[in-house]
Structure 1
Amino acid sequence: MSLKITSDPDIWREEVLNYKRWHFFYLPDWYKVFDSVIKKSYLAYTGEGFYFPFQIVGIPGIKMKLYSAPWGGYGGVFGEEVGHESVAHILENISKKIHVKKVYITLSPDRVEELEYYSDFN
């Protein structure tokens, strides 16, 4: 999997708008509103057509948490034929680049699934 991670809103917007079923909650504008000193928004995307907008909360390298949308808002993974295996693969690749202690994935507006996810960060 060729995983790219960007926080650049122009690249992010272009990637999402190229996807035929884009939604407001996947656009960078939704995430940037919630950015702060300890919160930063990113889009992970692959050559296989999977997209994962997420937000990192915490001090880099110290108890960082990954949210699939700002503070549990609805975002989540989207793209062609996205399944749990694809999500796990994306998280595995993200963890190689960013040290994350916990992952919160929003599966629907009503449900948030918390995963303990520890990378092999050295």
Structure 2
Amino acid sequence: MDARLVIVRDQPLNHTHFPYIHLTATYCKVRVNHQIVSQAAIIDTGITVDSNHEVLGVTVGDNETLAFRAEFLRSLRARGLASVRLVHAGDRMGPAATIHKVMLGAAYQRCRVHFRRPRDPMSPLC
């Protein structure tokens, strides 16, 4: 599976226009230095004007800090992601601030699931 993830992480993103992106995060158990630990996995899906979906990026880190999210979004821009108009994401760890800082001109829409669910800072969902 690592070989497939490397392909996704390294592919150029300038082959089509993705005006909409969806960021989601979850925590999963992974092996690090011979120990099982919980780490944040962020997955970004791009949506074209024709409603086609494509996984643009995947990354795993210790937690969902602003710096972690910003680094991930900057890596997408470095690979050619441009002119994003709307970012759809949860509100854990302040993605709105990160989105406005990195994806200049993009609007932010909070995931509807998070409007229905009470805010729980310990929730492992996006």
TM-score (norm 1): 0.35
TM-score (norm 2): 0.34
Q: Does 1 or 2 have the higher relative contact order (CA < 8 Å, sep 6+)?
A: 2
For the pair shown, which has the larger CA radius of gyration, 1 or 2?
2
